[in-house]
Amino acid sequence: MVYGSSNKNDEEYEQALKKIYALMQFEIIPNSAKSNELEILAIVVKDYENVHFPIPQPIEN
């Protein structure tokens, strides 16, 4: 997986989730390399989830 690109499949999505988990085990300093990597991965995962696992809008009565 190339950081900054979108997840192309479930395997890359799972790899990104594992990397996020691993990074969150550290006390991350803001604006550090790990902080930047975590931010990029979170954006990539969010974009993937928005496409593959959309949350339906509530139905208004």
| pLDDT (tens digit per residue) in 21-61 | 999 999 999 999 999 999 999 999 999 999 999 999 899 87
Confidence (pTM): 0.79
Q: Are 20 and 45 in contact (CB under 8 A)?
A: yes
CA distance 27 to 38: 12
Nearest CA to 34 out of 16, 45, 22, 43 is that of 22
What dihedral angle (degrees, nearest 10) is formed by the CA atoms of 25, 31, 29, 1? 20
